[in-house]
Amino acid sequence: MNKAIGIDLGGTTVKGVLIDAEGNILQKHCISDGENNDVNWEEKVLKVVDLLRPNTGESVKIIGLSSPGLANESNTAIAHLPGRLPGLENFGWTNSLGIKTHVLNDAHAALKAEASFGALREYKNAILITLGTGLGGGILLNGELYQGLSQMAGHMGHSSINFSDDETSLLGIPGSIEYAIGNFSISRRSKGKFQSTHELLQAYERKEPFATWLWLDSLRKFAIYLASLINIFSPEAIVLSGGITLAGDQLFNPLQEFMDLYEFRPKGKKTSILKAHFEDFSGAIGAAAFALDKMKQEL
């Protein structure tokens, strides 16, 4: 049975999995030392791969690697990642690891994990949105990951919901949805009262008026944004992943009530809003799934 190694290269952490063609995780390893990965990212990846290799036998012929940044058109390297992980751009992973390696964006990998083995396994057209420090995501069209021109499709956070706002996103968009709900902006949005979405949700659970208003206002904006995506793509499902989804019912229940107000549902059509199946190792699993698909295409 075909197997693949999947690697997820993060800011301070490198995660790796060995999976089979059915998505079963045979082995997994993680290196997280709290140090800045800008210095020793290659060393950490090599170490994780070496930890997985003794268990691979002769059947592993492919590696998938997910990373921040935009992959090149051939998915052999990260082509664009300014200001982070110096030396990663155009780095040749196949030569470094000694096994053919396919590379893709980390949010695209998360989508691939859900589409291949997770919450989106039964869907052909869907959207994944990561809710964490910021917003990222991926698009599934006709059962395939859509990467777009310059492989930059899925920058979900950089859509404006308030063009007159003085906040500008990393991609230059004023009043972005990423600012409206992302964890990075919570201190500014709360006038310094909360330093994380977790703190905000604790206050929301206590029914504090300001926290209740701020959280529900964020979710109303997010629901309007999702309804706009639905109007454009008409997906079968939208799956949410990332740290903010740990809020559970505090997120999904009010979000669904707002969707009931804003989603266009001709003849009873309703887009499913799902929680991601995979969490910590989604990037590694998706990268491995992407590599396995590439291997099938090349046979």
- Using one digit for the tens of pLDDT, what is the confidence trace for 79-129? 999 888 889 999 999 999 999 999 999 999 999 999 999 999 999 999 999
Interior CA angle at 148 toward 147 and 149, to 5°? 130
pLDDT tier at 24 (50, 70, 90 boundaries)? very high
Distance CA 131, CA 134 (A): 6
Cβ pair 69, 79 in contact under 8 A = yes
pLDDT per residue as tens digits for the range 140-176: 999 999 999 999 999 999 999 988 887 888 788 999 9
Q: Measured in whole angstroms, how far is the alpha carbon of residue 122 from the centre of its chain?
A: 19
Q: Facing residues of 139 across strands? A: 127, 146
Tokens in use for 78? 């990260």
Lowest mean pLDDT among 28-42, 102-116, 179-193, 208-222: 28-42
| pLDDT over 80 (residue 38) | no
pLDDT per residue as tens digits for the range 166-202: 788 878 899 999 999 999 999 999 999 999 999 999 9
Q: What is the pLDDT of residue 170?
A: 79
Q: What is the pLDDT of residue 166?
A: 79
pLDDT tier at 1 (50, 70, 90 boundaries)? low
Q: What is the mean pLDDT of residues 7-29?
A: 93
Q: What is the pLDDT of residue 11?
A: 76
Distance CA 25, CA 136 (A): 25
Tokens in use for 105? 């964006």
> Which residue do the tokens 């920058």 mark?
155
Q: What is the pLDDT of residue 35?
A: 54
249-262 and 209-233 are packed helices; what angle lies between their axes, rounded to 10 degrees?
50
Q: What is the mean pLDDT of residues 40-59?
A: 84
Q: What is the pLDDT of residue 57?
A: 62
Q: Measured in whole angstroms, how far is the alpha carbon of residue 232 from the centre of its chain?
A: 20
| pLDDT over 90 (residue 55) | no
Per cent of the chain over pLDDT 70 is 95
Q: What is the pLDDT of residue 280?
A: 86
